[in-house]
Structures are given as C-alpha cells and as structure tokens.
C-alpha cells in the first residue's frame, strides 16, 4: 500500500477502506508517512469530504493510535461531556458535580486551554494544590469512591490527534467536518465512557460561526457516536455573547460555585440543566427532560452538588474549604469598574473580543507554553437585552496593574453596541440531537 495512491484516490473522490485508513494513521504516528503527504491527504479530505463509514474508520484508527482507558472497574454508568469551546465556558465545573450528585459516574479527562481563557484543568488549578496528574489508578479509585474525577489527558491518549491537529492548524484544514468529528470523538471514545453529551457552540465567539455549520457538526458527532456504539447527544448553543458573566479562570470558578449554591440563575444554569438532562436520559435514569431537570435542580437545592465539587477538590489534593469560601481563591490586585458612556439597551457584544481582553490581561494563552494568571479577567454586569444608564458599570476588570485594567476597560467599551429600543435576549438552546 502506498500513501501516494491513497492521496490520489481521495483527491479523485474515492472512498478509502478501513484498512487504508488504518495504514495511513499507523504510518503517520510511526513517522513512516511524512507531514507533507498527510497535509495533502487532509486537503483532499477538506475538499472531497468523507462518508460516515470513512469518518468512523478514521475515528477508530485515531482512537487506537495510543492508550485506550479501561473504565470497566468503575461500577455504574460512566458519563462525559465535551464543549467545542467558547468565552466564559465553565459548564464542566457545574455539570460534572451536579450529575455525579445524581448518581452518574463522571470520569473526565480534560485538556488545557489555548486562547481566550484556560481550559477546565486551568480553572480547577485555581484551587491551590489541585492535582491534575493523579495517575490512572487513583483516577479510577476516586470515581468509584466519590463518583467523580477530572484529570489531565495522558500523553499516550490519541497521539494521532495531537499530530494531525498541529498539521491541520498550519495547513488551513481545521474547518473540515470529518476531521473535526474524528478529532473530538477519538478522544471521547478512548476515554471509555458510556454516555456523552456534546455542547456544540455557534456564533461570533465560537469556532462554528453559523447555526447551519453547528448543525452539520452536531449531526456528524452524533452519527459517529451511534456507529461506535455509544449513547451520544449534541446540544447546539448560542455563543454570540459570553456564557454567564465571568471570563477568567478563578472568576469563572467563583461563578460556577455561585450556581452550585443556588445563588446564580440565568443562561449558565439553563445550559447545565439541559446538558445534564441529556446525560440522565441517555443513562436511563429518567425518560423525560422535566423529571431530569427536577433531579438536577434538587441536587443543587439540597447542597449535594456543591458538596460533590468539594469532594472532587479534596480527593485531588486541594482544600475543600476553598469551595465553601471563595475569598480564598486567587484575586487580582486591581479591580476597575467600566462605566458606560452610552444609555439604552445592549444590542450586541463582540464575544470573541471579550475573550481576547481576558487573554491579554493574562487569563489565557496565545501559545501553549504561556503561563496563565489565574486571578485576572472580567465580570460582565450587562448582557444583550439589558438596559443600561449612562455611567452605569458594564463590567469589572480584574487585572495585575492599573495600566492593564484601563486598557481592558477601553477595549470592553468598544465591544458593546447599544440600541434606543428594547432588544430581545438571544435564544440559548438552538437544538438538541440524540444519536
């Protein structure tokens, strides 16, 4: 078998067999197939696409390119969640303890963030001492003992994806749906869970800018999940403004805790109830969304969900007291209010630019090796549809210096557009697809 033949076959619109795809992925991971040949294949896939069978074969070949986590020692149904990424997305910090408090087992492997803010691991490290490298045995033991564990992905989990994603990033082939689907699902399948919910975001602050693109990706993800024998749901959600109000690692942790305490409602809670309902329904805990939402809300109202987060932090070498007293979490030395220079109704927020403000404050990474300041970011006080008076605060900037805070404040004002007439709040949940 020759890689040149496979490139030509896909270039001309042919369908690759499972054996051909396995040969290609195995050869690439082992260094027998060059970057320039795989670049050509990625471009051929970008233009010609892949059938469901090809995408499944690619996903499984990538999944088996490294370690596959064995969760068979965990009693009960194992759940996982994935988000395609967005500004202020801290849902894992709420959703995972909430569904674990309802009896599902959450065995989650996460990555670090690149861009707007940190990833789930970075946010969890806002709890001093939190250990993301607990090892597989302790990971499994913790899930059996308390029902939840969140740690970093092992270096040998889906190495094909690490190599392919770096290549796609520099060859203009990131937007290919089959390549996105195989990237996401290979990691989810390798993680070994039974039920998966996928938060597919669309809008100015998301990778998928339009609802149509998000639907195409969601359909691809759920189809491959079904073909791989997993129960999988995709929720298409709005990312035309930040999710919740906090953008920045420790700030997002504090907001997540406020939701788990039952103090904060709104879009963040709504999304977590929707995602959690999908998991409970797929796991067979309930047959309908209303019952599922009541179970999840009761986990919050009773304090069991917050307690589960405290158990997670303590089980991974953090201090549970930090969950109950958020004043102990990192706090930036400078807080600056951003008074509005206009009056009216917020009609638009440049979502991606808000994320970049946090990154420039130090809350995200422009490159993988960048260090993150866990304390910085911003907290919005107004969102789309809210009425604003002249001089009323749009947000609070949390920064390391006053100079950085003032620059961020000026940038934030430029992100907001106002209307003289009332503005309808955007619809958060666009659609839900089950496999």
- Indicate which residue of 65, 110, 126, 183 is catalytic: 183
For every residue of 386-426, DSSP letters joined together read: -EE-TT-EEEEEEESSHHHHHHHHHHHHHHEEEESS--PPP
Residue 192, C-beta contacts closer than 8 angstroms, at least 6 positions apart:
68, 69, 70, 71, 78, 107
Please pick, among 168, 188, 230, 307, the residue that the annotation labels catalytic: 168
Catalytic residue among 10, 78, 82, 105: 82
Active site residue 347: no
Is 187 marked active-site?
yes
Distance of CA 328 to CAs 108, 245, 304, Å? Answer: 26, 20, 21
Contact criterion met (CB below 8 Å) for 352 and 87: yes
Instruction: Give, as one character, the DSSP assignment of residue 133.
Output: -
Cα dihedral 7/11/16/20 (nearest 10): 0
Q: Are 317 and 129 in contact (CB under 8 A)?
A: yes
Identify whether 64 is a catalytic site residue. Answer: no
Catalytic option among 57, 80, 89, 161: 161
Q: Which residues contact 154 (CB under 8 A, 6 or more apart)?
A: 67, 69, 109, 136
Structural contact between residues 158 and 183, judged by C-beta atoms closer than 8 angstroms: no
Q: Which two tokens stand for residue 72?
A: 């068979």
Q: Which is catalytic among the residues 78, 90, 187, 230?
A: 187
> Is residue 108 annotated as a catalytic residue, yes or no?
no
Q: Is 183 a catalytic residue?
A: yes
Active site members: 82, 161, 168, 183, 187
């Amino acid at each position: 078998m020759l890689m040149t033949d496979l490139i030509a076959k896909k270039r001309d619109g042919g369908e690759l067999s499972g054996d051909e795809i396995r040969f290609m992925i195995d050869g690439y991971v082992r260094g027998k197939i060059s970057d320039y040949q795989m670049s050509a294949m990625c471009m051929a896939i970008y233009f010609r696409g892949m059938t469901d069978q090809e995408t499944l074969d690619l996903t499984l070949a990538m999944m088996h390119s490294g370690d596959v986590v064995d969760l068979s020692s965990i009693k009960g149904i194992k759940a996982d969640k994935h988000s395609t990424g967005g500004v202020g997305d801290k849902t894992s910090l709420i959703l995972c303890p909430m569904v674990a408090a309802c009896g599902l087992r959450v065995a989650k492997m996460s990555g670090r963030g690149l861009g707007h803010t940190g990833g789930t691991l970075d946010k969890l490290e806002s709890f001093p001492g939190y250990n993301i490298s607990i090892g597989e045995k302790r990971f499994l033991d913790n899930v059996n003992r308390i029902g939840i564990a969140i740690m970093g992905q092992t270096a040998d989990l889906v190495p094909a994806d690490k190599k392919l994603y770096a290549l796609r990033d520099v060859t203009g082939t990131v937007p290919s749906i089959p390549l996105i689907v195989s990237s996401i699902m290979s990691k989810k399948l390798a993680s070994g869970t039974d039920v998966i919910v996928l938060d597919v975001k669309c809008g100015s602050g998301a990778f998928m800018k339009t609802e149509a693109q998000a639907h195409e990706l969601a359909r691809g993800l759920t189809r491959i999940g079904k073909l791989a024998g997993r129960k999988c749901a995709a929720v298409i959600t709005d990312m035309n403004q930040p999710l919740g109000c906090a953008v920045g690692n420790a700030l997002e942790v504090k907001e997540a805790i406020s939701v788990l305490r039952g103090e904060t409602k709104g879009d963040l809670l709504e999304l977590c109830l929707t995602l959690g309902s999908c998991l409970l329904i797929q796991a067979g805990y309930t047959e309908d969304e209303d019952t599922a939402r009541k179970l999840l809300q009761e986990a919050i109202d009773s304090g069991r969900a917050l307690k589960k987060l405290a158990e997670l932090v303590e089980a991974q070498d953090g201090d549970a007291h930090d969950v109950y007293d958020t004043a102990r979490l990192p706090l930036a030395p400078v807080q600056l209010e951003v008074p509005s220079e206009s009056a009216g109704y917020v009609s638009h927020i440049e979502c991606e630019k808000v994320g970049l403000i946090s990154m420039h404050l130090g809350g995200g990474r422009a490159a993988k090796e960048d260090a993150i300041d866990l304390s910085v970011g911003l907290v919005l006080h107004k969102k789309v549809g809210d009425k604003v008076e002249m001089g009323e605060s749009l947000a609070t900037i949390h920064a390391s210096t006053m100079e950085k805070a003032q620059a961020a404040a000026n940038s934030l004002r430029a992100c907001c557009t106002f209307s003289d007439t009332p503005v309808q709040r955007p619809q958060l949940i666009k659609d839900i697809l089950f496999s």
